Amino acid sequence: MSISPFEERYKTEMNAILDDWTKIRKWMIVEVALAKAHASMGTIPKDAPAKIEGASKRVRKEQVDEIEEKIHHDLMAMVSALSDEAGESGKYVHLGATSYDIEDTATALIFIDALSLIDKHLASLDNVLKKLAIDHKSLVCIGRTHGQHAVPTTYGMKFALYHQELSRCRMRLSQAKERIAVGKMSGAVGTMATFGKDGPKIQRLVMKELGLEAAKVTNQVIQRDRHAEVLCDLALCAAMMEKVAKELRNLQRTEIAEVYESFSSKQVGSSTMPHKRNPHKSERVCSLARLARGNALTAIENIALEHERDLTNSANERAIFAESFICVDYMALELTKILSGLQFYPSNIKKNLELTNGLIMAERLMIRLTEKGMGRQEAHELVRTISQEAFENRRHLKDIVVERKLLDKNEAEALFDYSTYIGSAVKIVEEAVKD
């Protein structure tokens, strides 16, 4: 029986990167790198690292779990199991290191793998957004501000906007990946005292072996601003995806009904209302975004540890790191599926454009009147007044314009053609997705 929904319901490839056994294997990789550094310095026998590495392939999770149940220290359980398997060379395992030399360095390796997978799935989402932007660059729809009809835009503009925002999310994660790719081998309070004068060199050798940068200064841990940055950037990605999902949810409202999530022939929308076609997939994306944001706040609170460190970060990090990565990964996969199967309803899009009887063209009318010589403020006031008249009397604004001889009939017909009032929308979309 699973406790967390991320173990089953929202499980992705990410789970394999973040599970406990993967973490233990990464710990052993760091231990082997430390042994190699010692051997190159001549502090342990040259053949010891190979024996320790061979032993790491024989260690079993059940073996580590059994030891941990007795000693109540997960990392030392791994050290004990690895030492037992390495025979005579086991006495060189973990030489000079403290637990978080191993744990934090391994965490950097795990974060790198997790960030690579996230970017792979965000790239797939981005490709769908770009395709939607190009395919619908000329599909005119009503733009809405404050929940009210504003002026025409295009669906291509919506998706191009999301593409650009997602590009920034990916860039931030890429930059955070560089800053999290840092390890330490500096001991209990960061002084490297257990390694003597060779400390800086041993740390450099270990990190070179692992492909990480050596932290310039630490206390007992890698500073948590690095981890908080990653979780904050994941939260920004989640917020961006929530933004898309929220728009899709609103566009699926019965009164709007311009787009819909795909809905299979056997799918059930409600246990009591057979007609319902609820946007539950988009709602799920929005729900998970809240969790990602909450975890980011916890990560920020982990920055201010006491003195050279306390343990208040440890317990919650066992939850928030895995949850945040799996959560955002699932969201990316789910939103990609939603957008790939998105259904458009052109008749409803057109109906909504015409819903206000031409009021959405009031801005264009004001501009045209200024072109004919009327002052801008005067034109604004006039159009505001006749717009209110049209709204109150449920008349088309165009009819009032012709009636008052502000424009002749042909000119009014052309001006109230909403399909010709999208400015540079098509060009904007094409430029936005060029990258």
- Catalytic annotation, residues: 146, 270
Distance, CA of 293 to CA of 236 (rounded, Å): 8
Q: Are residues 399 and 365 in contact, defined by beta-carbon separation less than 8 angstroms?
A: no
Q: Are residues 426 and 154 in contact, defined by beta-carbon separation less than 8 angstroms?
A: yes
79 Cβ contact list (under 8 Å, min separation 6): 31, 93, 94
Comparing C-alpha atoms, which of 137, 140, 154 is closest to residue 419? 140
Q: Look-up: residue for tokens 């001889």?
A: 405
State the amino acid at position 245 in one-letter form. A
Element (H, E) at 200: helix 199-210
Distance, CA of 232 to CA of 302 (rounded, Å): 13
C-alpha of 41 from chain center: 43
C-alpha of 215 from chain center: 27
Element (H, E) at 154: strand 148-154
Helix (H, G, I), strand (E, B) or coil at 132: helix
Distance, CA of 276 to CA of 281 (rounded, Å): 14
